[in-house]
Amino acid sequence: MNVITGLFPPTGGTIRLGDRDITGLPSHKIAARGLGRTFQITRGFEQLSVLENLLVPALAVKTSNRKEVEKKAAEIMDFLLIDHLEDELSVNLSGGQQKLLELGRVLMLDPDIIVLDEPFAGVHPELRGDLHDHIDDLYEAGKTFLIISHDMESIFKLCERVIVFDQGKKLIEGSPDRVREDEAVLEAYLGD
């Protein structure tokens, strides 16, 4: 994930986004080309308000003007159900709200592909349900998701194609039903 999003330099191979080669591009260029990501431990701007957090990514979208950006930020806050937190400093949000805000920052870039790193870890079950709904809605709207998670319940609920890794090696790839019943997966996750 870090290589795909430009945080680590690649040691080999090629990364393509659609028909464009993005191998070795810096993170900001990859973000501007439509690949957004979140982190397991959120990387927010703690001393900025929720609204300000959403306005910062606007710099990557060169054609946008201030009014358009603010309108988009308002729509995203409304969609993520965090509009009542608009003026709250991000440092004061709960872990789940921080995750929603991070998704909001990514949505400001209007990416085609959204990479989520452990989006459900440490999130209150109620907010986790909200997060499922948001991902479903965005998927219906045409966004592609790559989700990395240990929360198998969420993965099986949301994903059409699942790849399981164990100790850095691919165990299996297939539909949720196939993965759910695979013995190697059960062993890797439940132990002997």
Minimum Å distance from CB 71 to another protein?
14
Q: DSSP class of residue 152?
A: H
Nearer to another protein, 108 or 164 (CB): 108
Binding another protein (rule: CB under 8 A), the pick from 6, 50, 100, 128 is 6
Minimum Å distance from CB 19 to another protein?
21
CA pair distance 43, 36, nearest whole angstrom = 13
Size of the site for another protein (CB under 8 A): 33
Nearer to another protein, 87 or 126 (CB): 87
Q: Spell out, one character per residue from 17 to 56, where the chain touches another protein: x when CB under 8 A holds, - when not.
A: ---------xxx--xx---xx-x--xxxxxxx---xx-xx
| Neighbouring residues of 17: CB distance < 8 A, sequence distance ≥ 6 | 30, 33, 34, 35, 112, 113
Q: What is the DSSP string of 46-102?
A: TTSBHHHHHHGGGGG-TT--HHHHHHHHHHHHHHTT-GGGTTSBGGGS-HHHHHHHH
Minimum Å distance from CB 111 to another protein?
10
Whole-angstrom CA distances from 131 to 9, 100, 127 are 31, 7, 6
Q: Any contact of residue 114 with another protein (CB under 8 A)? A: no
Sites of contact with another protein (CB under 8 A): 5-7, 26-28, 31-32, 36-37, 39, 42-48, 52-53, 55-61, 66, 69, 105-106, 108-109
